[in-house]
Amino acid sequence: MHRSFAMLAVLAAAHTFQPANAVNAVRSEVRTGVRDCQGALPSFEGSLRKRPLAVQNEGTALAFVTCGMEGDNSGIANTSKIFVLLRNIGTATTDVSCTLVDGGVGLFTPLYFPKTISVPVNAMGLTLIQWTAATDNGGVKFLYPAISCGLPPGVGIPATMREYTEDVGA
């Protein structure tokens, strides 16, 4: 396992340069929860229903979910904003706690950014929890982001979003 991380660090270090004439474009992507989120442990899977439009906690207890996001294999931090959409189809407003974990260089130096937000009952509405490099990380963009959320009963993740820069050449 240590060999894999060492190889990843070597590959990341080998690709950290950018040509002087690089042009960056700002991009955004939306990914459904069912595509990128899963139970953090097998014991949580029994409470989670992976619907086409959300990973929903249909159990009676808190279920932890991990959502993976894309990173740039060049080793250059390029993600400036991260969003998690939450939907509460339960019976009461509830607090949801999520943590953005940025793997950092070579996935060896993780940084943790916890947040808690109140999510009202609204089967048709969405509540947004967000992290930005500017407000949450001193202006430093995120390199290898992932999200961990504790979903109370009735709460689900329909989608995650990120805004990033991409080198599109000269």
Domain extents for the chain? 2-167
Count of beta carbons in the 10 Å neighbourhood of residue 93: 12
Max Cα–Cα distance, the chain, nearest Å:
55
For position 106, what pLDDT does the model report? 66
∠ CA 140-146-147 to the nearest 5 degrees?
A: 110
User: Which DSSP string do the residues of 66-77 spell out, in sequence order?
Assistant: EEE----TTS--
- Bigger pLDDT: 139 or 16? 139
User: What digits encode the pLDDT tens for the residues 91-100?
Assistant: 999 999 999 9
What phi and psi, each to the nearest 5 degrees, are found at residue 85? -90, 135
User: What digits encode the pLDDT tens for the residues 52-78?
Assistant: 889 999 999 999 999 988 776 666 788
Q: What is the pTM of this model?
A: 0.80
- Bigger pLDDT: 166 or 149? 149
Give the range among 32-36, 90-94, 125-129, 130-134 with minimum mean pLDDT.
32-36
Kindly state the percentage of the chain with pLDDT values over 90.
49
User: What is the distance between the alpha carbons of residues 45 and 142, in angstroms, rounded to a whole number?
Assistant: 28
> Do 168 and 25 touch, CB atoms closer than 8 A?
yes
Q: Which CATH number is 2-167's, of 2.60.40.350, 3.30.70.20, 3.40.50.2300, 2.60.120.260?
A: 2.60.120.260
